[in-house]
Copies of this chain bind each other. A is one copy, B any other.
Amino acid sequence: MPLDLGAKGSCHIGGNVATNAGGIRFLRYGSLHGSTLGVEAVLADGEIFDGLSSLRKDNTGYDLKQLLIGSEGTLGIITAVCILCPSKPRSVNLALLGCRSFQAVLDIYKFSKEKLGEILSAFELIDSECMKIQETYGGHVNPLQDETLPFYVVVETSGSNEDHDELKMSSFLEEVMGRGYVVDGTIASDSSKFQSMWSLREGIAARLMKAGVVYNYDLSFSIEGFYELVDVMREKLKGNALHVCGYGHLGDGHLHLNAVGPTLSKEFLSLIEPYVFEWTSDRGGSISAEHGVGFKKRDAIHFSKTEKQIGIMQKVKSVFDPKGILNPYKTIPSGS
């Protein structure tokens, strides 16, 4: 399955496709728009959309299943899918690296693409605030000795040849340590260390909820501008927030921005929204990288899409669901 999510213990594949989930290996295996070969769905009129093809190539008319992928159940209810699955990798290597600046993170990413090439399977960022939250509320111990570092990255490779992959990883590590991009690091030498390294990254969302009331944003940017908004919000919420932190899929430009406040508060929220959306929109980013629009961001969709596009979406919704019975009030603003 070319998809691996923090929510893998509870999510369903139909929901993954309906929301176009991305996850931690998107960097390697790409979007479900590329790997979903077929979709069967129940449409609003009760008829079946019978597109459960397993063909890799089929250019006969419009690729309608693409509309169902990521439609959040507003165009049809996905009942079966056919997904192209890669071979299970025989060798997996994982490293946690600490570095002194965001620029160093970008340099490491550049070198990971060059040195690890086709076996790079994840490149994730954890900032120091997320690391502290994991220590305080998750009982984790930072496995790196230098605890003053602002950024950590998790780099994973998956490949078909253990010897080759280890050589590529060690050549990469030598390069980034030698150049001073990485000041401290550790590799997962056994499966329990592998699990604990991934849970450091994947457990952040759950630990944040123990720290207070979480206001979280699922944004995407160019990789260069990935972390800027976290600093901006830290400054803006100074004295009001308990924590402001960022983590996510750096290789995909996908940032999870979190502000933790002491209580549920409209005043606190008004310091964040619509500012976060405006800031993101001004930089050509997406206000929903992978979690979708739902009802919460339905009226904010114009921060990422033009009036023209939203107008076409409304008409497409009417084609599939003229009575508006599928997930009403979600995703697409109602037409004027």
The answer to whether B286 touches A55 (Cβ under 8 A) is yes
**Could you say which residues of chain B place their CB within 8 Å of the CB of A168?**
160-161, 164
The answer to whether A118 touches B304 (Cβ under 8 A) is no
Q: Any chain B CB within 8 A of the CB of A288? A: yes
**Could you say which residues of chain B place their CB within 8 Å of the CB of A54?**
222, 284
Interface centre among A63, A304, A332 (most CB of B within 10 A): A63
Stretch in A130-138, A147-155, A208-216, A313-321 with 4+ CB within 8 Å of B: A313-321
Per the bound structure, the CA–CA distance linking A235 and B34 in Å amounts to: 37
The answer to whether A305 touches B59 (Cβ under 8 A) is no
**Could you say which residues of chain B place their CB within 8 Å of the CB of A221?**
55
**Could you say which residues of chain B place their CB within 8 Å of the CB of A229?**
none
Stretch in A173-181, A196-204, A290-298 with 4+ CB within 8 Å of B: A290-298
Number of interface residues of A (CB under 8 A): 83
Q: Any chain B CB within 8 A of the CB of A30? A: yes
Chain A to chain B contacts (Cβ below 8 Å), 29 pairs: A30-B30, A47-B308, A49-B308, A49-B309, A50-B308, A55-B220, A55-B289, A57-B220, A57-B249, A59-B289, A59-B290, A59-B291, A59-B293, A60-B286, A60-B297, A61-B293, A61-B310, A62-B75, A62-B316, A63-B69, A66-B66, A87-B113, A87-B117, A115-B160, A118-B119, A160-B168, A164-B167, A315-B319, A316-B319
**A-to-B contact residues, CB < 8 Å:** 19-20, 22, 26, 30-31, 33-35, 43, 47-51, 53-64, 66-67, 69-71, 75, 87, 89-90, 113-119, 159-161, 164, 167-168, 220-222, 249, 252-254, 284-293, 297, 301, 304-306, 308-310, 312-313, 315-317, 319-320, 331-332
